[in-house]
């Protein structure tokens, strides 16, 4: 969001700041010459002389936070047309009391009485006099602009000040109301004073850097704005303190220390970014090294492919196991339903037993049994109860041992299943499975477990037993080794594997012998090839020598032939000269002369035409080059002028904006 232009502030010769009348700039009354404005980045550039002097205006400029644009503390949305309505509940008594107390506390904390020589009372914010309002307004405005001097009546001073401060509701305040602030209009002016108090607090907070941390948390770096603000405030104060007849050299001498201090501050501010850059570069180097180490330590893709194939096989096995577990889960759910039905039946039986017990108790009461019989029966019942408890305890111990044995047996069974799977996998890999495999010889070596699928809940299990018929061959006994496996591993299978091992060893020995013979034959072939290669190289040397000799002989023969041809041609020419007569020679020479002249004229005409064409083309090309050069020079001159104008405008706007900001603050 760009920063909008703000009003031009004025400064009269008497020292007043924030001009008497609205948005127009004012000349100094002492003289009409203009002083040079200063820019932040270039102190040597000078603004053009005009009638206005020492007036500044805020304009949009690039933020020091890079591409992040942020809003000025003094920026405000454009006001709507007409008289705006104040949304604050100023007519509310409680709201008036609250903001009045805040205003009174602020006045007390910042020595209002000592500075203005005016006594504060509780009624100063409830029913003040015109003098109280004048003192409070002047004191609050001096908190915002300490250099301002009030020289006119309050009703003439307040409207332009409110307009320059951009008070949102200044259009609703008239001069007649300012001249009589008491009564029913006091709530409006109480809101005005409270707004000025908040503005002063905000300026104090900005000067103390109270908002810097919040800006950093939101991702906005205001350190550059802080440095420029300090530079403008200090430099502008010294510039205003100069004499009226001071020249450009004095201005540069006054502003040079501030520029140097600003440069040092920017260097200190940028040092943290340099250190952070070094740290990031070191981190980047470390990460690059880690990447190289990771690239070096990356395993071979072939190994990863093998692992992937193994994992795919394991995935298929796990899916089969998962399907088996899913089937078991469904069986368990069905058995849970059966158990629930049995539990419901037991609950009904328990109710019938309770009813029977009550009937028996009633029958005993009807029989009229004596107390001795009751004591005896009670003692007998306690003895029987203790016996039942001890038997239950022993039964629990036995159940725990049985559960441990069952758990151990289940683990052993799972381990046996894994071993069987491993055995079948290895047997498949060495071509023992299926029976049609190469090494099976028609025998079935696939190992299978013969166990029950799951538990069969019997009456004993319903009474508390946790045994599973998966671990039992029948309800009373377990499996025998010969019953659980379909093959005799120690007998038939082992003997078959030993014989297969011997057979494979013999085949391996035969293959090794054949391979050794092949290696010997290959070595002999290699030696023969090497001998033939040596012979070929020797023949190649002989061929190259013969070719060199042939080339030399050919050169000598060619030279002799050329000499002979030259002599023959010379003798032929001499013979032709001797045979030719004088007349023939003259005619031939004339005819040759005529032919030569005709050919020369034709060549001359063609050369002139070609020369004219080339001259025309060269002139056209030169004209095009000159036009292109002139066009480029013109564009460069126009662009240079455009850049100079834009630079002058930017420097002028920055100078005026920073002057106005410093003057405003």
| Mean pLDDT of all residues in 279-285 | 89
DSSP class of 619? H
What CA–CA distance (Å, rounded) separates 398 from 391? 10
**Averaged over 223-236, what is the pLDDT?**
79
Question: What mean pLDDT is predicted for residues 49-69?
Answer: 37
Whole-model pTM?
A: 0.33
Q: How distant, in Å, are the alpha carbons of 359, 361, 372, 373, 466 from that of 368?
A: 15, 11, 12, 10, 46
Give per-residue pLDDT as tens, 82-107: 677 888 888 888 998 898 889 888 98
Q: What is the pLDDT of residues 498-536, one digit of tens each?
A: 887 888 888 888 888 888 888 888 988 988 898 888 889
pLDDT value at 607 more than 80:
yes
- Range with the lowest mean pLDDT among 109-118, 611-620, 652-661? 652-661
What is the sign, positive or negative, of the torsion defined by CA atoms of 544, 549, 555, 558?
negative
Q: Which contacts (CB < 8 Å, 24+ apart) does range 261-264 have?
A: 261/231, 262/40, 262/227, 262/228, 262/230, 262/231
Q: What is the CA radius of gyration of the chain?
A: 58
Cα distances from 319 to residues 312, 314, 324, 325, 426, in angstroms, run 10, 8, 9, 10, 20
Q: For 595, phi and psi rounded to 5 degrees?
A: -60, -40
* pLDDT, mean of residues 294-312: 80
In the chain, what are the domains?
A: 86-208 (1.10.418.30), 218-298 (no CATH), 377-454+469-478 (no CATH)
Q: Which residue has the tokens 């030169």?
A: 622
User: What does the pLDDT look like over 405-435, one tens digit per residue?
Assistant: 888 888 888 888 888 888 778 877 777 777 7
Q: What is the mean pLDDT of residues 242-250?
A: 73
- Percent of the chain scored above 90 by pLDDT? 4
C-beta separation of 664 from 10 below 8 A: no
Q: What pLDDT was estimated at residue 289?
A: 87
Q: Is the pLDDT of residue 35 over 50?
A: no
Q: How high does pLDDT run on average in the chain?
A: 76
pLDDT in tens, 154-175: 888 888 898 888 888 888 888 8
CA–CA separation, 64 and 267 (whole Å)? 13
Phi, psi of 478 (to 5 degrees): -95, -170
Return the pLDDT at 479: 66
pLDDT at position 20 over 80: no
Which phi and psi angles does 449 have, rounded to 5°?
-100, 135
Segment 283-300 shows an average pLDDT of 82
Question: What does the pLDDT read at residue 598?
Answer: 92
Q: Which pLDDT value is given to residue 603?
A: 92
List, for residues 471-497, the tens digit of each pLDDT value. 666 666 666 666 666 666 667 777 777
């Amino acid at each position: 969001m760009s920063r909008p232009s703000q009003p031009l502030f004025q400064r009269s010769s008497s020292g007043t700041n924030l001009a008497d009348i609205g948005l127009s700039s004012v000349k100094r009354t002492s003289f009409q010459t203009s002083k040079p404005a200063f820019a932040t980045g270039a102190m040597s550039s000078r603004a053009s002389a005009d009638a206005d002097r020492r007036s500044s205006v805020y304009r949009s400029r690039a933020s020091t936070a890079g591409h992040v644009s942020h809003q000025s503390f003094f920026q405000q949305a454009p006001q709507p047309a007409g008289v705006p309505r104040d949304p604050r509940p100023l007519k509310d008594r409680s709201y008036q009391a609250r903001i009045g107390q805040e205003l009174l506390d602020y006045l007390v904390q910042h020595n209002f009485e000592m500075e203005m020589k005016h006594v504060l009372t509780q009624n100063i914010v409830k029913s003040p006099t015109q003098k109280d309002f004048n003192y409070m307004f002047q004191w609050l405005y001096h908190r915002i602009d300490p250099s301002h001097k009030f020289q006119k009546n309050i009703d003439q001073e307040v409207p332009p000040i409110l307009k320059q401060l951009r008070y949102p509701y200044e259009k609703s305040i008239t001069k007649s109301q300012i001249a009589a602030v008491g009564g029913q209009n006091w709530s409006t002016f109480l809101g005005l004073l409270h707004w000025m108090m908040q503005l002063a607090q905000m300026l104090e907070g900005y000067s103390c850097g109270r908002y810097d941390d919040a800006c950093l948390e939101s991702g906005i770096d205001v350190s550059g704005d802080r440095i420029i603000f300090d530079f403008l405030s200090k430099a502008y104060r010294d510039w205003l303190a100069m004499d009226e007849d001071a020249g450009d050299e004095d201005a540069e001498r006054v502003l040079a220390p501030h520029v140097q201090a600003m440069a040092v501050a920017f260097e200190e501010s940028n040092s943290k970014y340099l250190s952070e850059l070094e740290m990031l570069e070191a981190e980047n180097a470390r990460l690059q090294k880690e990447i190289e180490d990771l690239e070096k330590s990356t395993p071979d893709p072939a190994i990863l492919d093998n692992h992937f194939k193994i994992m795919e096989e394991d995935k298929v096995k796990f899916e089969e196991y998962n399907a088996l577990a899913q089937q078991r889960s469904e069986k368990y759910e069905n058995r849970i339903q059966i158990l629930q039905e049995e539990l419901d039946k037991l609950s009904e039986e328990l109710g019938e037993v309770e009813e029977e017990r009550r009937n028996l108790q009633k029958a005993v009461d009807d029989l009229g049994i004596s107390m001795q019989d009751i004591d005896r029966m009670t003692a007998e019942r306690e003895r029987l109860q203790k016996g039942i408890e001890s038997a239950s305890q022993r039964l629990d111990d036995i159940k725990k041992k049985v559960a441990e044995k069952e758990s151990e047996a289940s683990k052993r069974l799972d381990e046996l299943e894994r071993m069987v799977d491993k055995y079948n996998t290895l047997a498949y890999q060495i071509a023992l499975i299926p029976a049609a495999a190469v090494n099976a010889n028609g025998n079935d070596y696939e190992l299978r477990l013969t166990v029950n699928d799951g538990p069969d809940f019997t009456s004993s299990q319903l009474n508390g037993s946790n045994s599973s018929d998966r671990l039992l061959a029948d309800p009373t006994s377990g499996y025998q080794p010969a019953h659980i496996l379909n093959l005799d591993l120690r007998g038939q299978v082992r003997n078959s594997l030993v014989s297969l091992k011997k057979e494979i060893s013999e085949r391996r020995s035969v293959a090794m012998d054949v391979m050794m013979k092949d290696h010997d034959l290959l070595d002999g072939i290699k030696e023969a090839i090497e001998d033939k290669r040596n012979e070929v190289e020797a023949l190649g040397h002989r061929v190259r020598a013969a070719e060199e000799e042939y080339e030399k002989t050919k050169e000598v023969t060619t030279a002799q032939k050329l000499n002979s041809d030259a002599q023959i041609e010379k003798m032929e020419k001499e013979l032709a000269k001797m045979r030719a007569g004088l007349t023939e020679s003259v005619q031939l020479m004339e005819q040759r002369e005529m032919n030569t002249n005709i050919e020369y004229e034709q060549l001359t005409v063609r050369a002139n035409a070609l020369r004219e064409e080339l001259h025309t083309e060269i002139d056209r090309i030169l004209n095009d080059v000159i036009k292109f050069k002139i066009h480029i020079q013109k564009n460069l001159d126009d662009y240079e002028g455009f850049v100079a104008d834009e630079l002058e405008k930017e420097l002028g706007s920055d100078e005026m904006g920073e002057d106005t900001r410093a003057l405003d603050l």
